[in-house]
Amino acid sequence: MSSSPVFAVAHRGASADAPENTVAAFDEAVRQGAVAIEFDLRLSADGEMVVIHDETVDRTTSGQGRVAALDLLDLRRLDAGSWMHRRFAGIRIPTLDEALLAIGPHARPVIELKVPPPAGLVDHLRKYDLEREALVLSFDRSWLTAVRRMSRDLPLGLLSEGWHHGLPEAARQLDAEVLAVGIDAVGPGQVKAAEGFGLELWCFTANDIGMVAACAAMGVTGIITDHPDLIRTRQSAR
């Protein structure tokens, strides 16, 4: 069992304390000491990159409908905060630029693709000098392959709910540096297997102190959590 330091990857920001995937959640994650902040990327109907997890806006905004069917202006009219608490009323769905501006100076942006990689993704990261600092995650290996064609320098991470014997090799073949696996599938053997291929093993989603302690003891590097303040060790994720 390992006693190596671990770091918090704030899941959709500090999403236990502020509306997920909003600038408020990113700011709160920074305040709580997260050194990496994960968020989800989709496209509006007019091709703008926006930060929202679900395929529809129904759960986390005042509106209804598919994200891909709404123009950016329509999305920006929606209240993305009141569903959690009235003090967050008026918070909006962020654009990719707004997310990078909120996170980039303070923590590592970790972008989970919910759609195939948009053509302008790498250009946006370069604009903020984040091409080598950010990390792009996906469950879809073909999407990660496409990102690698766009940039040789942008770090990649493969997501998987479960574990199978060939998973570390698959991640390495994608030229990934991170393998992020569901917490129920993580053990010391998985950590060792990932390290054997030169990969960091992250786990998701650990939301109580016992789960965090178990992940840390197994040697996991990054712990994806809605509660980044549970992880007191401060260590750079870059």
Catalytic positions, written as ranges? 11, 53
HSE at residue 31, side-chain half, CA atoms within 13 A, is 10
DSSP state of 95: B
Tokens at residue 118, please?
């948009």
d(CA 123, CA 228): 29
d(CA 69, CA 59): 16
CB-based contact 119:47 (threshold 8 Å): no
Query: How far, CA to CA in Å, does 113 sit from each of 19, 54, 55, 135, 229?
Result: 19, 12, 12, 11, 25
Tokens at residue 201, please?
């093993």
